[in-house]
Structure 1
Amino acid sequence: MALSLSTTRDAGMITVTVAGAVDLSTVAELDQAVLAAIDAGPPSVVVDLAAVTFIDSAGINTLLKSRRLADERGQHFRITNPTGIVRDVLDLTGVLIHLSG
């Protein structure tokens, strides 16, 4: 499944909505979208993973890198709505709590 991304801005928050599989072949698209959201300078950046069907270590790395960048810039960064195998992978790797907060 191809990756689909959309970005919305609402009251000081940018949400990047992700659908499909986040893996080595698609992670550059996610990275670009999230970095653009952070670069726009909102107080808060949210990555909605409700429609993500798969995530590998490359996707997790991008989310962690994005969290660090947002933290360095004083922005709040979090993921929302991980489900199924994506939630399980994030939980098993120990990053779910870090990225959800």
Structure 2
Amino acid sequence: MALTLSTTRDADTITVSVAGDVDLSTVADLDHAVLAAVDDATGVVVDLAAVTFIDSAGINTLLKSRRLADERGRHFRIANATGVVHDVLDLTGVLGHLSG
């Protein structure tokens, strides 16, 4: 499934809504969108409600984005991880770190 991204702004928070598969072939688009949001807002939420698959490249991008947000004093979190995406993030031990 192809990756689609959309962004919305509410005050100082940008939400990046992600749909489809986040894998090595699509992660560059997610990386670009999330890093742009970190540069442009004090808060970033990555909404994973419509993500059907995530691999290590996607997890790495989310962790990198969280690290950059922390370095810049920005708030960053993922939201709405469900199904296999929730399970993968939980099993790899990053769900709590990315959700908070």
Q: Which residue of 1 aligns with 2:13?
A: 13
3-state SS of 2:84 partner: helix
Structure 1, unmatched stretches of 5+, are none
Tell me the distance in 1 between the aligned counterparts of 2:72 and 2:39: 9
Output one character per residue of 1:63-84: Cα deviation in whole Å (capped at 9) or x when no partner.
Answer: 0000000000000000000000
* Count of aligned pairs between the two proteins: 100
TM-score (norm 1): 0.98
Aligned-residue CA RMSD (Å): 0.4
Tell me the distance in 1 between the aligned counterparts of 2:62 and 2:26: 13
Runs of 4+ in 1 over 2 A off after TM superposition: none
Q: Which residue of 2 aligns with 1:70?
A: 69
Alpha-carbon shift at residue 43 of structure 1 (Å): 1.5
Percent same amino acid at aligned positions?
Answer: 82
Tell me the distance in 2 between the aligned counterparts of 1:29 and 1:11: 24
Alpha-carbon shift at residue 9 of structure 1 (Å): 0.5
